[in-house]
């Protein structure tokens, strides 16, 4: 009987017939096993219900054969399509050992449980199990629909499968059971509408199987495409190159280490400690918002203490607020002395949407659009635009720092004009130059919108700028590290599985620094000593304790970072070191040029280092650093740089300069960076090297350009330092002369007068200085010598120009400057005839220039001399002319100076107008960052308050800016002497304590000039407050004598004279009081206006009242007249003293009824002034 091979089953994949017992199709190789549609369990042949879940299977096979399926799909011609999918292959390791000695039924149950776990894991991540092959599993993502997370989901599932198998083995007595997984992403052919086995085919399927075969147990390896598509969420490490069957070239494979979204790029870093600091950040932010004013909070601590983390936590907080927060972030470049205003450049570029690659035209266009958006007023926009252009390196003009400060303040105020809080986080504030810190302080104190500045800095910030901590609107938070208890908590949160002894030793090594702990755990990850378990990072049970505590990876942060850099391999480590030379942040384009690599190659390696937590990619559309890479922590950059040899550092600095040089035209702030790279390269070059001379010339050229940019931006301290470095290395004498004159100008602008004198005399002594240079140097020296009290030397240095015809060979600007300097020197020495002669010549030569500023300076010098000569009408006329000239020509500095002079002239004439002028000057001065002129305006405002009896307002004004910025420097005495003196004068009347900066005590009292007057007057009042009236009166007279020689005739002179007479009378020294009174002409005490005439009558009558031989009628009439005039003028305090004097005199003559109203009025006024010492002085406190 003939037998036939029975054909009883169609292939579920292709529909071809196969023998009933065939496991795989003879046509396509697909599995012949049928599966339940609901749970995918294997189905016995002919089953109507699934034996695992009970679901109906239908009348046909569980998976419809492809030949049948085509008839149910619209468009039957579309059988398959190409899709990019992620294919996972996982295979058990050690299952044979598990099976040995077990009953077959038990083995089947184990497999069934394992298959169920695999299905649950794959289904959890949206994948489809394609088939099981023995104890191996294949799953696919991207079918039937594709998402941009397919690769990530496949890797997540693979990691969970490995963890599930480890747990499965432990539960069933097989701890050695493990799984290895391979994931490959690539194009495959997908059978449309198919499910289960045979749904995909292509090279990616075979490659995935072979990749998993290469992976070690409990490891997941992926190809390059999978890594690229999932690297934002998954952290990888290099698994090397491997030859794979069917591939012409070796495959670069990577091992998946952790899920970034769950572990914060490798290590889950919870916020441990610092909850008080976070609350303070929020409170200060709300305070700025509520008060519509500026506030600054400084987070200060060593690298790794957690500053960056707190900044990021605050950013997350603001992101969650329902209101609009105008966020800015900028970084002070950690290069040399700092790039002037680099953080402000970053904030502005971010606000206007500027990109690194923008050429000047594009940058200017974006700036124009930004100004139009935030500054709708056309006039204001026209004013602010060139000042922002200067900041961004687009403008060719140069502005005074005060003018720039005012413009930048206005910019921030317009951004927050609608009431939205403006936030500015400044990274690496310790690298800031002095000018930028002045700007921050100016913004915080002057802004009239909610502005909250958060500065992240190292402790050296306060080593360079100790007064920052004393700002009234500045809060400082010192981050000193975490205590041991919180470090224990941090390590437990970072990684599980640490035994108490190991954790204790790790905490000891971390020394309270959170970054040490984080870097320790990252090093453990890199060494493969951890695993993901239950969504948390855990130390492997078999991890070698010696490796965990290996000093090469945990003995301090530097060693930790160095060991991680060594793991990168030579190519990647070299690239990271190239990046370290560029700075804390850098672009891939610049790094590619500097390192001589292809951009794509650089980006690929940088992305891998991002996944290794060494770098981060900045994603902040409001920041100019958007798209740049940054070192995760600055110590990483420091260690990478330190590992370079001197030779390699030099080469890399030169390469960086070459790469950045073409970009300076569009980004002017890079000029300083290029200069610093060249300077660093020069320092690393042997002077005997053949390239040294050319490098020296190139570095000097770029340093000059850098210094000029600093100067244009008002960063004068940095500009001066740069010029002095250039001078030290410049050999050409003619170039040195020119450089010294520029340095002297800058030093004068910032009040460094000894530096001015040194540079000026160096030019004077130079044989290469020409007539113009010599005259300019002598002019600068004269003004500074006069300022520091060396009046004779100020005139002596101008000896070559003793005659007017000595100026004939000079240009008008230079000649006007020399004549003005001689005029000022003669005025200081009290020679008014010579002052007038030279002052007139200065004005004549100034008029010839047609330059408004030169004309203003000449006019102002004449006005001050007219005041000294007590010609108030002429002085007022010239001051008015100065004021109009400054307003008409937009001379901001000169306008403030003119307002100060005008208020000074009006103090004893019209207190209302004097107050208005002083307030305008103070407002403009503070908005412009001009401390000296602001101090004079503050002084004049306080003088008005004192004269009219607004003593509480006086004390409040004294506590404001600019005096509140600090008075400890001796150089501050000239600017703030009257502020302190008036505060002490009121305190003396009130019986309060003294205010005395200790540094002022050592100032020479006989240095001459105005400085000597203020120093002596300060000491005189302190002596009186300490009960040393005799010494105090003597010092007052000395101060007046010095002031007379210096030509001082202002309100301060009158007050010192009055104080000396009042204290002499209080001590019963009538003869001394009369003598001081009689010397008013000699001491140049002003008495040419109504108030001062009345004050002199009061003092003369007071002296007479103390003398029994005086005419009683004259005493009474003079005091009565003084009271009437002082009351009409509004001189409340001295009117009350006159009333008290007359009342006491009347009472002493038995005229109590007449005395009582006067004494009652004086008592009431003294009480309102809180002048308890005056009440006691006149016996009115009883």
Per-domain residue ranges for the chain?
1-78, 79-263, 275-479, 484-568, 972-1177
**Residue 274, token pair as written in the block:** 């610092």
Name the H helices within 224-321.
224-230, 260-263, 275-291, 307-319
Mean per-residue pLDDT over the chain, rounded: 82
Quote the pLDDT of residue 54.
43
Contact between 287 and 296 (Cβ < 8 Å): no
User: For residue 156, how many C-alpha atoms fall within 13 Å in the half-sphere facing its CB?
Assistant: 24
d(CA 795, CA 777): 13
- Residue 1069 pLDDT class (50, 70, 90 cuts): very high
- Residue 356 pLDDT class (50, 70, 90 cuts): low
What digits encode the pLDDT tens for the residues 385-395?
A: 999 998 888 87
Report the pLDDT averaged over residues 1108-1128.
Answer: 93
Cis peptide leading into residue 144 (ω within 30°): yes
Q: Is 648 helix (H, G, I), strand (E, B) or coil?
A: helix
Q: Give me the torsion for CA of 418, 420, 421, 427, rounded to 10°.
A: -100
CATH of domain 972-1177: 1.25.40.10
Contact between 587 and 603 (Cβ < 8 Å): no
Strand partners, 35: 42
Q: Is 49 helix (H, G, I), strand (E, B) or coil?
A: strand
What's the DSSP call for residue 387? Answer: H
Report the pLDDT averaged over residues 796-817.
Answer: 93
| DSSP codes of every residue in 974-1037 | HHHHHHHHHHHHHHHHTT------GGGGGS-TTS-HHHHHHHHHHHHHHHHHTT-HHHHHHHHH
- Could you tell me the strand order of the sheet in which 629-631 lies? 585-586, 629-631, 615-617
| DSSP codes of every residue in 406-441 | HHHHHHHHHHTTTS--EEEEEETGGG--HHHHHHHH
Closest by CA to 414, choosing from 374, 369, 366, 447, is 374
Closest by CA to 30, choosing from 201, 188, 190, 209, is 201
Report the pLDDT averaged over residues 690-705.
Answer: 87
Burial label for 569, CB within 10 Å (0-12, 13-18, 19+), is exposed
What digits encode the pLDDT tens for the residues 718-765?
A: 889 889 988 988 888 999 999 999 999 888 877 678 899 999 999 999
Contact between 237 and 200 (Cβ < 8 Å): no
Most confident of the ranges 30-34, 123-127, 331-335: 123-127
CA distances from 924 to 883, 907, 997 (A): 14, 19, 27
Q: Is the C-alpha dihedral spanning 1144, 1146, 1149, 1153 positive or negative?
A: negative
Rg (CA), the chain: 42
d(CA 92, CA 999): 80
d(CA 115, CA 134): 10
Quote the pLDDT of residue 553.
38
d(CA 568, CA 238): 9
Report the pLDDT averaged over residues 820-849.
Answer: 89
Identify the weakest region by mean pLDDT among 524-533, 567-576, 1066-1075. 524-533
Q: Is 880 helix (H, G, I), strand (E, B) or coil?
A: helix
d(CA 704, CA 719): 9
Query: Rounded to an integer, what is the distance from CA 538 to the centroid of its chain?
Result: 38
d(CA 470, CA 3): 105
Q: In this structure, how many other beta carbons lie within 10 angstroms of the beta carbon of residue 1049?
A: 20
Report the pLDDT averaged over residues 1131-1157.
Answer: 94
Superfamily of domain 275-479: P-loop containing nucleotide triphosphate hydrolases (3.40.50.300)
- 3 state SS for 118-181: HHHHHHHCCCEEEEEECCEEEEEECCCCCCCCHHHHHHHHHHHHHHHHHHHHHHCCCCCCEEEE
Helices 514-526 and 484-494, axial angle in degrees (round to 10): 30
Assigned CATH topology for domain 79-263: Alpha-Beta Plaits (3.30.70)
d(CA 657, CA 703): 12
d(CA 621, CA 626): 6
**End-to-end Cα distance, the chain:** 146
Q: Is 815 helix (H, G, I), strand (E, B) or coil?
A: helix
Which pTM does this prediction carry? Answer: 0.56
Contact between 1166 and 1182 (Cβ < 8 Å): no
What digits encode the pLDDT tens for the residues 871-920?
A: 667 777 888 899 999 999 988 888 998 999 899 888 888 999 999 999 99
What digits encode the pLDDT tens for the residues 457-513?
A: 988 788 777 777 666 788 898 887 888 888 888 888 888 888 888 888 888 767 677
Query: Rounded to an integer, what is the distance from CA 481 to the centroid of its chain?
Result: 22
Quote the pLDDT of residue 10.
55
Quote the pLDDT of residue 55.
41
Cβ neighbors of 377 (< 8 A, separation 6 or more) are none
- Residue 1075 pLDDT class (50, 70, 90 cuts): very high
Helix, strand, coil in percent for the chain, rounding step 5: 60, 10, 30
**Residue 1101, token pair as written in the block:** 């009558």
d(CA 1012, CA 1172): 31
**Residue 799, token pair as written in the block:** 């000896």
What digits encode the pLDDT tens for the residues 587-614?
A: 898 899 888 899 999 999 999 888 877 8
Q: Is 843 helix (H, G, I), strand (E, B) or coil?
A: helix
- 3 state SS for 948-962: HCCHHHHHHHHCCCC
Give 666 or 650, the one with higher predicted confidence: 650
Give 396 or 1026, the one with higher predicted confidence: 1026
- Residue 13 pLDDT class (50, 70, 90 cuts): very low
Which element (helix H / strand E) includes 9? strand 7-10
Report the pLDDT averaged over residues 1162-1172.
Answer: 95
Q: In this structure, how many other beta carbons lie within 10 angstroms of the beta carbon of residue 1155?
A: 20
Quote the pLDDT of residue 74.
29
Question: What are residue 889's phi and psi, to 5 degrees?
Answer: -105, 10
Quote the pLDDT of residue 635.
67
Quote the pLDDT of residue 357.
62
Closest by CA to 190, choosing from 141, 121, 118, is 141
Pairing of strands 615-617, 629-631: antiparallel
What's the DSSP call for residue 811? Answer: -
């Amino acid at each position: 009987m003939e037998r036939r091979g029975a054909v009883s089953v169609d292939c579920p994949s292709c529909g071809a017939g196969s023998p009933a017992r065939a496991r795989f199709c003879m046509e396509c190789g697909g599995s012949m096993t049928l599966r339940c549609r609901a749970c995918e369990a294997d189905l016995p042949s002919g089953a109507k219900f699934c034996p695992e879940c009970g679901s109906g299977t239908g009348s046909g096979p569980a998976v419809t054969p492809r030949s049948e399926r085509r008839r149910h799909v619209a468009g039957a011609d579309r059988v398959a399509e190409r899709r990019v999918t992620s294919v996972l292959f996982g295979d058990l390791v050690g299952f044979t050992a598990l099976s040995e000695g077990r009953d077959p039924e038990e083995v089947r149950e184990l497999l069934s449980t394992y298959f169920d776990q695999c299905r649950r894991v794959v289904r959890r991540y949206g994948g489809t199990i394609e088939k099981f092959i023995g104890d191996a599993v294949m799953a696919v993502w991207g079918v039937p629909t594709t998402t941009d997370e397919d690769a990530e989901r496949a890797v997540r599932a693979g990691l969970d499968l490995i963890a599930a198998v480890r747990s499965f083995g432990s539960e069933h007595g097989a701890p050695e059971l493990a799984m290895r997984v391979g994931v490959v992403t690539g194009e495959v052919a997908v059978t449309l509408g198919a499910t289960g086995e045979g749904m995909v085919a292509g090279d990616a399927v075979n490659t995935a199987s072979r990749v998993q075969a290469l992976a070690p147990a409990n490891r997941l390896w992926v190809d390059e495409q999978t890594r690229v598509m999932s690297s934002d969420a998954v952290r990888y490490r290099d698994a090397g190159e491997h030859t794979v069957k069917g591939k012409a070239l070796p495959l670069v494979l990577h091992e998946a280490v952790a899920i970034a979204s769950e572990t914060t790029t490798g290590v889950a870093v919870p916020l441990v400690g610092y909850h008080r600091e976070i609350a303070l950040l929020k409170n200060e932010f709300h305070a700025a918002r509520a008060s519509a004013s500026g506030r600054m909070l400084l987070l200060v601590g060593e690298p790794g203490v957690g500053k960056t983390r707190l900044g990021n936590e605050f950013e997350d907080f603001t992101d969650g607020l329902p209101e609009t927060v105008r966020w800015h972030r900028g970084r002070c470049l950690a290069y040399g002395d700092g790039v002037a205003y680099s953080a402000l450049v970053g904030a502005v570029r971010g606000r206007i949407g500027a990109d690194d690659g923008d050429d000047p035209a594009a940058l200017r266009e974006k700036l124009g659009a930004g100004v139009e958006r935030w500054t709708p007023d056309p006039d204001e926009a026209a004013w602010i635009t060139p000042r922002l252009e200067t900041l961004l390196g687009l403008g060719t003009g140069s502005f005074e720092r005060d003018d720039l400060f005012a413009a930048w303040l206005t910019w921030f105020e317009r951004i927050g004009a609608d009431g939205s809080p403006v936030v500015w986080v400044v990274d690496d504030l310790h690298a800031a130059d002095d000018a930028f810190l002045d700007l921050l302080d100016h913004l915080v104190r002057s802004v009239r919108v909610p502005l909250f500045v958060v500065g992240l800095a190292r402790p050296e910030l306060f080593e360079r700028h100790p007064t920052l901590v004393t700002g009234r609107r500045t809060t400082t938070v010192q981050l000193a590290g975490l205590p041991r208890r919180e470090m224990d908590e941090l390590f437990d949160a970072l990684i599980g599985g640490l035994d108490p002894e190991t954790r204790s030793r790790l905490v000891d090594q971390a020394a309270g620094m959170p970054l040490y702990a984080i870097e320790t755990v990252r090093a453990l990850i890199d060494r493969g000593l951890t695993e993901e378990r239950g969504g948390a990072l855990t130390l492997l049970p078999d991890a070698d304790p010696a490796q965990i505590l290996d000093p090469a990876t945990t003995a301090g942060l530097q060693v930790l970072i160095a060991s991680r850099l060594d793991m990168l391999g030579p190519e990647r480590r070299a690239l990271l070191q190239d990046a370290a030379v560029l700075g804390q942040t850098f672009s891939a384009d610049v790094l590619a040029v500097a390192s001589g690599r292809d951009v794509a190659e650089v980006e690929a390696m940088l992305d891998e280092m991002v996944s290794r937590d060494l770098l981060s990619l900045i994603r902040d559309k409001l920041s100019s650093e958007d798209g740049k890479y940054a070192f995760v922590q600055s110590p990483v950059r420091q260690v990478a740089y330190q590992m370079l040899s001197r030779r390699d550092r030099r080469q890399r600095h030169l390469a960086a300069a070459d790469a950045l040089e073409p970009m300076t035209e569009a980004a002017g702030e890079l000029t300083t960076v290029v200069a610093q790279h060249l300077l660093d390269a020069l320092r690393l070059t042997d002077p005997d090297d053949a390239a040294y001379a050319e490098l020296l010339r190139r570095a000097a050229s770029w340093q000059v350009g850098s210094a000029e940019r600093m100067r244009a931006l008002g960063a004068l301290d940095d500009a001066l330092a740069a010029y002095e470095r250039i001078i030290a290395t410049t050999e050409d004498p003619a170039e040195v002369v020119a450089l010294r004159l520029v340095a002297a100008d800058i030093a004068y602008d910032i009040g460094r007068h000894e530096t001015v004198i040194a540079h000026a005399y160096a030019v004077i002594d130079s044989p290469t200085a020409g007539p113009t240079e010599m005259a300019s140097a002598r002019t600068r020296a004269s003004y500074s010598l006069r300022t520091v009290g060396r009046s004779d030397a100020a005139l002596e240095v101008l000896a070559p120009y003793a005659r007017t015809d000595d100026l004939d060979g000079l240009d008008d600007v230079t000649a006007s400057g020399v004549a003005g300097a001689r005029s000022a020197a003669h005025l200081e020495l009290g020679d008014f005839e010579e002052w007038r002669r030279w002052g007139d010549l200065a004005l004549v030569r100034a008029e010839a220039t047609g330059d408004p500023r030169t004309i203003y300076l000449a006019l102002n010098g004449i006005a001050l001399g007219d005041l000294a000569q007590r010609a108030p009408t002429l002085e007022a006329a010239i001051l008015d002319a100065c004021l109009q000239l400054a307003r008409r020509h937009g001379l901001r500095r000169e306008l403030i100076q003119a307002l100060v002079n005008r208020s000074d002239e009006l103090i004893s004439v019209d207190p209302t107008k004097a107050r208005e002028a002083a307030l305008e000057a103070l407002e403009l001065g503070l908005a412009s960052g001009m401390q000296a002129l602001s101090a004079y305006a503050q002084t004049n405002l306080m003088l008005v308050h004192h004269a009219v009896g607004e003593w509480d307002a006086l004390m409040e004004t004294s506590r404001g800016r600019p005096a509140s910025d600090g008075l400890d420097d001796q150089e501050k005495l000239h600017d703030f002497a009257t502020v302190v003196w008036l505060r002490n004068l009121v305190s003396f009347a009130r019986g309060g304590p003294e205010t005395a900066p200790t540094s002022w005590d050592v100032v020479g009292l006989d240095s001459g000039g105005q400085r000597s007057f203020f120093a002596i007057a300060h000491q005189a009042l302190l002596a009186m407050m300490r009960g040393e009236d005799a010494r105090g009166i003597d010092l007052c007279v000395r101060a007046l004598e010095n002031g007379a020689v210096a030509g001082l005739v202002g309100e301060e002179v009158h007050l010192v004279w009055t104080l000396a007479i009042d204290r002499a009378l209080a001590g019963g020294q009538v003869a001394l009081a009369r003598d001081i009174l009689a010397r008013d002409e000699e001491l140049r005490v002003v008495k040419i206006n109504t108030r001062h005439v009345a004050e002199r009558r009061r003092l003369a009558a007071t002296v007479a009242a103390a003398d029994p031989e005086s005419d009683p009628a004259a005493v009474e009439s003079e005091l009565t007249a003084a009271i009437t005039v002082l009351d009409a003028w509004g001189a409340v305090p001295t009117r009350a003293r006159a009333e008290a004097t007359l009342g006491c005199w009347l009472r002493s003559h038995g005229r109590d009824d007449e005395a009582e109203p006067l004494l009652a009025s004086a008592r009431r006024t003294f009480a309102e002034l809180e002048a308890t010492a005056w009440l006691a002085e006149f016996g009115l406190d009883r």
